[in-house]
């Protein structure tokens, strides 16, 4: 089974693969992860050029702590197979596959990657953006039990979901909440990270902040972004604050006391705290320490 990563994936910025200047600029941005995109952000006549640019960028390095994810076109498109072959040769941190419908789609990609001898350091990410993917979310996530699947992360594609279901992208995302929570439950059941969809109006900073807060409260690990100005507020929204980390450490320390080692619940600062809260505290501290290490 995949093991949930504590690697910071708060801000995951889409970068158009056809723009060499933007790909170079990304080396100085404060995003945790970069999706170098060959799909939606690239016009059909630019696909081949973008593929070459992105693969050279990945092989050239210079991105520091930033995780590099290469999003290919679907294998049912004229560009998908060449994209996948090029991505396998470039060996980014992860290959992101769009238009997943069922578990077989995931395994077909994984088998191709494995047959190509790509190191296990290249993981598989998938877009959750189709109505069938919503219906099959649990079965898709369960593929992560097979280490050969390489599956480590789900990325919500809310724009495509809205298009295919005719659900409105409203403030608060009420029509989307059932699908978002279904995918979060599926991801957590099988040890996967999950990244929230984009917020389209990058000039609406308050709306963006509200949606970041909603995603964090739902349990998302981070959010996909479409503009660099969204990076810093997104990092802040998905980072544990000082008070949360301090309390988490107090909980952990309290359960480590000799008189509490065998207890399932204790009182701390006037509140009942259970052993499960200690586990949650340890996870929060691990995330905070990973962020601190990244920033250092």
Q: DSSP for 62-73?
A: --TT-EEEEEPP
What confidence score (pLDDT) does residue 237 get? 96
Give me the half-sphere count of Cα atoms (radius 13 Å) on the Cβ side of residue 229: 10
Q: Over 90: is that where the pLDDT of 27 sits?
A: yes
111-159 pLDDT, tens digit per residue, is: 999 999 999 999 999 999 999 999 999 999 999 999 999 999 999 999 9
Tokens of 165: 């279901």
On whether the CB atoms of residues 161 and 189 are closer than 8 A, the answer is: no
pLDDT tens-digit map of 225-239: 999 999 999 999 999
Is the separation of the CB atoms in 255 and 211 below 8 Å? no
- Mean pLDDT across the stretch 63-83? 96
Give the DSSP letter string of 80-94.
Answer: HHHHHHHHHHH--SE
Q: How many CB atoms lie within 10 A of CB 135?
A: 14
**Average pLDDT, integer, range 24-47:** 96
How confident is the model over 192-218, as a mean pLDDT? 97
User: Cα(51)–Cα(230) distance, rounded to whole angstroms?
Assistant: 26
Q: Helix axis angle, 103-115 relative to 80-90, nearest 10°?
A: 50
**Average pLDDT of the residues of the chain:** 95
Contact 6, 286 (CB under 8 A): yes
pLDDT of residue 2: 57
Specify the DSSP class assigned to residue 198. -
pLDDT at 1: 45
In whole angstroms, give the CA distance from residue 144 to residue 3: 9
Give mean pLDDT, residues 240-255: 95
Average pLDDT over residues 60-66: 95
Q: Are the CB atoms for 151 and 2 separated by under 8 Å? A: yes
């Amino acid at each position: 089974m995949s093991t949930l990563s504590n690697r910071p994936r708060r801000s995951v910025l889409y970068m158009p693969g056809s723009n060499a200047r933007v790909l170079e600029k990304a080396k100085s941005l404060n995003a945790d992860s970069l999706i170098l995109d060959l799909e939606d952000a690239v016009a059909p006549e630019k696909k081949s050029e973008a593929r070459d640019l992105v693969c050279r960028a990945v092989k050239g390095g210079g991105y520091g702590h930033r995780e590099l994810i290469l999003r290919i076109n679907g294998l049912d498109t004229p560009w998908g197979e060449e994209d996948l072959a090029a991505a396998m040769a470039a060996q980014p941190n992860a290959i992101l596959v769009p238009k997943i419908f069922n578990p077989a789609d995931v395994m077909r990609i994984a088998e191709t990657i494995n047959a190509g001898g790509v190191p296990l350091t290249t993981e598989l990410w998938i877009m959750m953006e189709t109505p069938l993917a919503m219906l099959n979310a649990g079965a898709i996530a369960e593929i992560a039990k097979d280490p050969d699947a390489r599956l480590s992360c789900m990325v919500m594609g809310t724009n495509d979901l809205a298009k295919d279901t005719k659900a409105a992208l409203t403030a608060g995302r009420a029509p989307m909440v059932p699908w978002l929570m279904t995918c979060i439950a599926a991801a957590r059941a099988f040890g996967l990270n999950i990244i929230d969809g984009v917020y389209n109006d990058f000039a609406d900073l308050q709306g963006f902040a509200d949606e970041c807060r909603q995603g964090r409260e739902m349990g998302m690990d981070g959010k996909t972004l479409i503009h660099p100005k969204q990076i810093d507020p997104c990092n802040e929204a998905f980072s544990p604050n000082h008070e949360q980390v301090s309390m988490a450490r107090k909980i952990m320390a309290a359960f480590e006391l000799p008189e509490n080692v065998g207890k399932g619940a204790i009182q701390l600062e006037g509140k009942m705290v259970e052993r499960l809260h200690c586990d949650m505290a340890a996870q929060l501290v691990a995330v905070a320490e990973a962020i601190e290490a990244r920033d250092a």
